[in-house]
């Protein structure tokens, strides 16, 4: 049966080569991050560039279409105008608030548009239309009027990719607004994405943080500016006997609702934004080694 054995041999060789090809993917997965970064950057600037441009164009058009709807609504009827003005007013209020926040936060921040990608790999991440040319660096915080959205992880020439607080790798040093309790805030997955919450871990066991207490960034580690709202305490998550407590935190910003953000430039980790959000934590509670650089007042 020479033919059959030949077919079998061919099949076996085919499977071996297939495993070899699969091995390439394993090497890429387990290899240094730099390899993936290089390939990713190449793909984004070539094959995927038209698609990200399309996404950006769609986002802009969507905003313009909304404006056109406003005009049509005004022409059609007063009722439609009123209804539309509510939406426009909300949009206006958000942009005005962002503008005002931008002025109060100072020149260390710049506004940017947020683009959300639909790929599974991009879950918990987003693109912003500001990059190295605008002064964005890896670790730049991303904020909205409501508070902290995420942090920049990769920077390109005119864009950057950031993770939002739902991403598994997101961590931020936090404290209660009165500066009494410190901990690390990290995401906690819900049964579905909209149910995702945050957890402040590592709080001292003797701490007693009441529900609805505001949690803000502490500025420790000089990554995030001090005094940016993260959320409000909902309940106790768990308590290790005699050691530490964790608190469930309801986030102050839902990433899926953010369209325009403020992104920190270069050394925003030492900035104190407590006054921007009227955070009452006194300067005395600032941990040693992180001298505050006050933000520009309005």
Partner 1 sequence: MRKWPFTTFILLLAMLHLILHVGLGIGALAPDFLAVAVLIVARRSSATGAVALAVLLGIVDDAMGIRNLGMRSIALGSAALLVTWSRNFIEGEGLLFVMAYLFVGKWVSEIILGLLTSTTVLEPLVLVTWAPLASAWTAVAGTIALRAFRSVAGPDA
**Which positions touch partner 1 (CB under 8 A)?**
14-15, 17-19, 21-22, 24-31, 33, 35-36, 39-40, 43-44, 47-48, 50-52, 54-55, 58-59, 115-123, 125, 153-154, 161, 163, 168, 189-192
Question: Which CB, 104 or 254, lies closer to partner 1?
Answer: 254
Q: How far apart are the C-alpha atoms of 283 and 107, rounded to whole Å? A: 22
Question: Which CB, 16 or 79, lies closer to partner 1?
Answer: 16
How near is the Cβ of 176 to partner 1 at its closest, in Å?
26
How near is the Cβ of 281 to partner 1 at its closest, in Å?
32
Burial class for 233, CB neighbours closer than 10 Å (0-12, 13-18, 19+): buried
How near is the Cβ of 192 to partner 1 at its closest, in Å?
8
Q: How far apart are the C-alpha atoms of 144 and 162, rounded to whole Å? A: 14
Question: Which CB, 192 or 243, lies closer to partner 1?
Answer: 192
How near is the Cβ of 19 to partner 1 at its closest, in Å?
8
CA distances from 48 to 133, 164, 264 (A): 21, 22, 26
Question: Which CB, 39 or 86, lies closer to partner 1?
Answer: 39
User: Residue 280's closest CA among 199, 175, 202?
Assistant: 175
Question: Which CB, 26 or 205, lies closer to partner 1?
Answer: 26
User: Residue 126's closest CA among 184, 60, 55, 49?
Assistant: 55
The token pair at 107 is 């020149």
How near is the Cβ of 80 to partner 1 at its closest, in Å?
28
Question: Which CB, 115 or 130, lies closer to partner 1?
Answer: 115
How near is the Cβ of 292 to partner 1 at its closest, in Å?
30
How near is the Cβ of 40 to partner 1 at its closest, in Å?
5
Question: Which CB, 131 or 219, lies closer to partner 1?
Answer: 131
């Amino acid at each position: 049966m020479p033919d059959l054995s030949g077919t079998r041999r061919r099949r076996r060789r085919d499977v071996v080569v297939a495993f070899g090809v699969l091995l390439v993917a394993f090497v890429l997965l387990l290899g240094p991050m730099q390899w993936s970064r290089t390939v990713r950057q190449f793909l984004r600037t070539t094959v995927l560039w038209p698609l990200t441009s399309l996404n950006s164009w769609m986002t802009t058009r969507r905003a313009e279409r909304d404006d056109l709807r406003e005009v049509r609504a005004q022409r059609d009827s007063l009722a439609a105008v009123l209804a539309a003005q509510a939406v426009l007013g909300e949009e206006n209020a958000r942009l005005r608030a962002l503008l005002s926040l931008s002025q109060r936060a100072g020149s260390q921040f710049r506004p940017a548009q947020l683009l959300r990608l639909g790929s599974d790999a991009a879950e918990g991440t987003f693109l912003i239309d500001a990059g190295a040319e605008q002064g964005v660096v890896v670790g730049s915080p991303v904020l909205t009027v409501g508070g902290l959205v995420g942090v920049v992880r990769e920077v390109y020439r005119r864009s950057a990719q950031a993770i939002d607080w739902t991403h598994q790798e997101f961590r931020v040093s936090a404290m209660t607004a009165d500066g009494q309790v410190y901990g690390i805030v990290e995401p906690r997955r819900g049964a579905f994405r909209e149910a995702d919450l945050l957890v402040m871990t590592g709080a001292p066991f003797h701490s007693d943080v009441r529900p609805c207490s505001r949690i803000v960034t502490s500025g420790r580690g000089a990554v995030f500016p001090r005094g940016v709202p993260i959320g409000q305490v909902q309940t106790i998550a768990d308590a290790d006997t005699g050691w530490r407590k964790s608190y469930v935190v309801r986030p102050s910003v839902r990433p899926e609702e953010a369209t325009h953000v403020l992104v920190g430039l270069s050394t925003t980790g030492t900035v104190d934004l407590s006054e921007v959000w009227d955070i009452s934590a006194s300067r005395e509670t600032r941990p040693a080694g992180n001298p505050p650089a006050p933000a520009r007042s309005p």
